[in-house]
């Protein structure tokens, strides 16, 4: 076959102005749609592609996570998210994302021990953290302190050393709950709690957040199970904004602590990690169950700025598979705590309406993972300012797995998107007096 002749696994792009055609190869993964390899497009045509938001662009090759939004499928290394959330614990998922396979019993024990032994942070970090204002947003604290970890653990910043990459990865997964709980305690004016090696990952986090020195704190197993599920369901979600940020920062050779801090900064944006906080704000705006019909009508009105947060999903055109799991956990938590909270009652009423109302069904506005996680976290006692922090704790595992995958990819290059320039053409400089 001639070098430029078409094959079954290729597409032909034709410039209608010149009539010149360019053949581009098509590559397929193990599942999912094929991709057109456009790396030689500029050399062949003198043109780039234009794809704001990269909604139709594959930026990397990855074996971690697969999403089929039309069918409501989310797989991690081939395992359905529903199975992982119901049967695994968070560190088992972390091992799977990092290593590619579920751990054997001895591997699980060794990995759990390694993470547990890394949960304490350098004591000087507590002094560093106290430099923030008491009213600082917990995400501001988490972003700043995570970025500073490279100054405390500079023995694990050489990205070309596999051992240092492994140590940095485990440190980040282990220390993120500790840093998140410190940010929370600092906002309350309460003393920091040291991690407990006899507790599991989710239990340890709840203990660090809610225990006080004046009395014993017992971690309720139902709440620990719900937190474990929240962590698993938020661990990785393909090439979203924050994950892409981590990869882009990492492509420059930046150290892993800086890359994860960049991911936290991206996650902080209300269009990304703030969705479950927006759910609570929306419920506060609705105010009472009797006001639901009024706000449903507002949501139906295209000219009304009111938005229904926590319903539907940009990726999932059907039911969010994570929401199926978290719905049950949500009802278990509310049943266990027996909370008489009008806002939570309003949420349950809205959920009931959403799964039965023709408008919601027609538009496929099913409750998503953010709807249920926001309700669970409020019921546990977390303020809305902590919601995205907990998201970051979970997503750190996905970020660091994606970062490791990128570093070891032989085709990896520094990220350099192009642009469609719309500014002035070249013009002469005029001195100040003649302008």
User: With contact defined as beta carbons under 8 Å apart, do 142 and 180 qualify?
Assistant: yes
> What tokens appear for 278 in the block?
């927006």
DSSP 195: P
**DSSP-derived secondary structure for 35-52:** EE--TTHHHHHS-----G
The gap from C-alpha 43 to its chain's centroid, in whole angstroms, comes to: 36
CB contact set of 35 (below 8 Å; sequence gap of 6+): 26, 27, 28, 29, 58
**313 catalytic per annotation:** yes
Q: Are 59 and 49 in contact (CB under 8 A)?
A: no
Q: For this structure, is 370 an active site residue?
A: yes
Ranges of H-type helices in 211-255: 221-233, 241-251
**Which residue among 89, 112, 320, 370 is the active-site one?**
370
Tokens found for residue 152: 């405390």
Catalytic residue among 76, 89, 313, 320: 313
Counted residue by residue, the chain has a size of 435
How many other β-carbons are positioned within 10 Å of the β-carbon of residue 48?
A: 13
Q: Long-range contacts made by residues 175-178, C-beta under 8 angstroms, separation at least 24?
A: 175/118, 175/119, 175/120, 175/121, 175/149, 176/146, 176/392, 176/393, 176/396, 177/119, 177/201, 177/204, 177/205, 177/208, 177/393, 178/119, 178/120, 178/121, 178/208
Q: List Cβ neighbours of 54 (8 Å cut-off, separation of 6 or more).
A: 239, 244
- Active-site residues, by number, are 313, 370
């Amino acid at each position: 076959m001639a070098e430029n002749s078409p094959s079954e696994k290729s597409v032909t792009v034709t410039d209608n102005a010149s009539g010149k055609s360019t053949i581009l190869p098509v590559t397929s993964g193990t599942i999912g749609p094929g991709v057109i390899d456009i790396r030689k497009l500029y050399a062949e045509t003198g043109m780039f592609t234009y794809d704001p938001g990269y909604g139709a662009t594959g930026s990397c090759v990855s074996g971690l996570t697969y999403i089929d939004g039309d069918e409501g499928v989310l797989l991690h290394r081939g395992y359905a998210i529903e199975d992982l959330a119901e049967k695994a614990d968070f560190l088992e998922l972390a091992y799977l994302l990092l290593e590619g396979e579920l751990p054997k019993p001895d591997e699980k024990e060794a990995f759990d021990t390694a993470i547990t032994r890394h949960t304490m942070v350098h004591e000087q970090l507590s002094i560093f953290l106290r430099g923030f204002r008491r009213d600082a947003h917990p995400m501001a604290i988490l972003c700043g302190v995570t970025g500073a970890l490279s100054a405390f653990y500079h023995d694990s910043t050489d990205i070309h050393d596999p051992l240092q990459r492994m140590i940095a990865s485990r440190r980040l997964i282990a220390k993120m709950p500790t840093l998140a709980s410190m940010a929370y305690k600092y906002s309350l004016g309460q003393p920091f709690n040291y991690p407990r090696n006899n507790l599991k990952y989710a239990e340890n986090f709840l203990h660090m957040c809610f225990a006080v020195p004046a009395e014993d704190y017992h971690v309720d197993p139902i709440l620990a199970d719900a937190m474990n599920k929240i962590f698993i369901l938020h661990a990785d979600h393909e090439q979203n904004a924050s994950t892409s940020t981590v990869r882009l920062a990492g492509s420059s050779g930046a150290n892993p602590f800086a890359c994860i801090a960049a991911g936290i900064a991206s996650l902080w944006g209300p269009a990304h990690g703030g969705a479950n906080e927006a759910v609570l704000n929306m419920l506060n705006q609705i105010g009472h169950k009797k006001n639901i019909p009024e706000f449903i009508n507002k949501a139906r009105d295209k000219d009304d700025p009111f938005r229904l947060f926590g319903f539907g999903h940009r990726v999932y055109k059907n039911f969010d598979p994570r929401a199926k799991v978290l719905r049950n956990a949500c009802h278990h938590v509310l049943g266990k705590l027996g909370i008489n909270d009008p806002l939570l009652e309003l949420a349950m009423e809205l959920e009931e309406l959403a799964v039965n109302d023709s408008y919601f069904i027609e538009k496929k506005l099913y409750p998503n993972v953010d709807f249920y996680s926001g309700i669970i976290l409020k019921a546990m006692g977390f303020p809305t300012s902590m919601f995205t922090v907990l998201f970051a704790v979970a997503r750190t595992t996905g970020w660091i797995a994606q970062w490791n995958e990128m570093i070891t990819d032989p085709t990896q290059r520094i990220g350099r998107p192009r642009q469609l320039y719309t500014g002035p053409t070249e013009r002469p400089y005029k001195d100040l007096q003649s302008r």
